[in-house]
Structure 1
Protein backbone atom coordinates (compact mmCIF):
# COMPACT_ATOMS: atom_id res chain seq x y z
CA UNK A 1 0.00 0.00 0.00
CA UNK A 2 1.29 3.43 -0.94
CA UNK A 3 0.85 6.84 0.62
CA UNK A 4 -0.75 9.67 -1.33
CA UNK A 5 2.62 11.42 -1.53
CA UNK A 6 4.25 8.36 -3.15
CA UNK A 7 1.55 8.17 -5.82
CA UNK A 8 1.83 11.91 -6.48
CA UNK A 9 5.59 11.60 -7.03
CA UNK A 10 5.10 8.68 -9.40
CA UNK A 11 2.53 10.49 -11.55
CA UNK A 12 4.34 13.87 -11.15
CA UNK A 13 1.30 15.66 -9.78
CA UNK A 14 0.48 17.53 -6.58
CA UNK A 15 -0.85 15.40 -3.69
CA UNK A 16 -4.10 17.38 -3.85
CA UNK A 17 -4.59 15.98 -7.36
CA UNK A 18 -4.28 12.43 -6.02
CA UNK A 19 -6.89 13.19 -3.35
CA UNK A 20 -9.18 14.58 -6.07
CA UNK A 21 -8.70 11.43 -8.18
CA UNK A 22 -9.61 9.31 -5.15
CA UNK A 23 -12.74 11.34 -4.37
CA UNK A 24 -13.81 11.23 -8.02
CA UNK A 25 -13.31 7.47 -8.17
CA UNK A 26 -10.37 7.41 -10.60
CA UNK A 27 -8.11 5.74 -8.01
CA UNK A 28 -8.99 3.01 -5.51
CA UNK A 29 -8.05 3.81 -1.92
CA UNK A 30 -8.31 2.23 1.49
CA UNK A 31 -8.61 3.69 4.96
CA UNK A 32 -7.98 1.48 8.00
CA UNK A 33 -8.08 -1.58 5.75
CA UNK A 34 -11.57 -0.78 4.44
CA UNK A 35 -12.40 0.56 0.96
CA UNK A 36 -12.63 4.34 1.03
CA UNK A 37 -16.10 5.84 0.64
CA UNK A 38 -16.30 9.64 0.35
CA UNK A 39 -18.33 11.17 3.15
CA UNK A 40 -18.25 8.14 5.43
CA UNK A 41 -16.78 10.20 8.29
CA UNK A 42 -13.96 7.73 8.94
CA UNK A 43 -10.59 9.09 9.96
CA UNK A 44 -7.11 7.81 9.23
CA UNK A 45 -4.57 7.82 6.47
CA UNK A 46 -5.54 6.86 2.95
CA UNK A 47 -3.52 4.16 1.23
CA UNK A 48 -3.50 3.32 -2.46
CA UNK A 49 -2.73 -0.19 -3.81
CA UNK A 50 0.63 -0.54 -5.57
CA UNK A 51 -1.16 -1.89 -8.63
CA UNK A 52 -2.04 1.68 -9.68
CA UNK A 53 1.64 2.26 -10.44
CA UNK A 54 1.52 -0.44 -13.11
CA UNK A 55 -0.67 1.88 -15.16
CA UNK A 56 1.31 3.81 -17.77
CA UNK A 57 -1.25 6.62 -17.93
CA UNK A 58 -2.42 9.06 -15.32
CA UNK A 59 -5.83 8.15 -13.89
CA UNK A 60 -7.43 11.30 -15.28
CA UNK A 61 -6.87 12.55 -18.82
CA UNK A 62 -5.11 15.89 -18.79
CA UNK A 63 -6.69 18.69 -20.74
CA UNK A 64 -4.93 21.61 -22.33
CA UNK A 65 -5.65 25.08 -21.03
CA UNK A 66 -6.13 27.65 -23.75
Structure 2
Protein backbone atom coordinates (compact mmCIF):
# COMPACT_ATOMS: atom_id res chain seq x y z
CA UNK A 1 0.00 0.00 0.00
CA UNK A 2 2.72 2.50 0.94
CA UNK A 3 4.58 1.77 -2.31
CA UNK A 4 1.85 3.57 -4.28
CA UNK A 5 2.43 6.86 -2.43
CA UNK A 6 4.57 9.48 -4.12
CA UNK A 7 5.66 13.04 -3.45
CA UNK A 8 3.41 15.57 -5.21
CA UNK A 9 4.27 18.81 -3.45
CA UNK A 10 2.59 20.88 -0.75
CA UNK A 11 -1.10 20.65 0.13
CA UNK A 12 -3.07 23.83 0.82
CA UNK A 13 -5.07 23.69 4.05
CA UNK A 14 -7.73 26.02 5.44
CA UNK A 15 -8.03 26.33 9.22
CA UNK A 16 -10.73 27.91 11.38
CA UNK A 17 -9.32 30.91 13.18
CA UNK A 18 -8.89 30.13 16.87
CA UNK A 19 -9.58 26.40 16.33
CA UNK A 20 -6.71 24.87 14.33
CA UNK A 21 -7.98 21.35 14.98
CA UNK A 22 -10.85 22.10 12.58
CA UNK A 23 -9.46 22.18 9.04
CA UNK A 24 -10.06 21.06 5.49
CA UNK A 25 -7.92 20.36 2.46
CA UNK A 26 -8.59 22.92 -0.28
CA UNK A 27 -10.24 21.41 -3.34
CA UNK A 28 -11.59 18.44 -1.42
CA UNK A 29 -15.36 18.40 -0.89
CA UNK A 30 -17.06 16.72 2.03
CA UNK A 31 -18.68 13.65 0.57
CA UNK A 32 -22.22 12.67 1.42
CA UNK A 33 -22.81 9.03 2.12
CA UNK A 34 -25.98 7.14 2.90
CA UNK A 35 -24.05 5.14 5.52
CA UNK A 36 -23.39 8.31 7.56
CA UNK A 37 -27.04 9.33 7.32
CA UNK A 38 -28.24 5.88 8.42
CA UNK A 39 -25.89 5.85 11.40
CA UNK A 40 -27.15 9.28 12.52
CA UNK A 41 -30.78 8.17 12.24
CA UNK A 42 -30.04 4.90 14.07
CA UNK A 43 -28.18 6.75 16.84
CA UNK A 44 -31.02 9.24 17.27
CA UNK A 45 -33.58 6.44 17.33
CA UNK A 46 -31.57 4.54 19.91
CA UNK A 47 -31.31 7.63 22.11
CA UNK A 48 -35.08 8.16 21.94
CA UNK A 49 -35.76 4.50 22.71
CA UNK A 50 -33.44 4.41 25.72
CA UNK A 51 -34.78 7.77 26.92
CA UNK A 52 -38.34 6.47 26.85
CA UNK A 53 -37.28 3.31 28.68
CA UNK A 54 -35.59 5.34 31.40
CA UNK A 55 -38.50 7.77 31.74
CA UNK A 56 -40.98 4.89 31.83
CA UNK A 57 -39.00 3.11 34.55
CA UNK A 58 -38.72 6.35 36.52
CA UNK A 59 -42.45 7.06 36.33
CA UNK A 60 -43.31 3.49 37.38
CA UNK A 61 -41.60 4.02 40.75
When normalised by structure 2's length, the TM-score is 0.20
Name the one with the larger helix percent.
2
Flag the structure with larger Rg. 2
Higher relative contact order (CA 8 A, sep 6+): 1
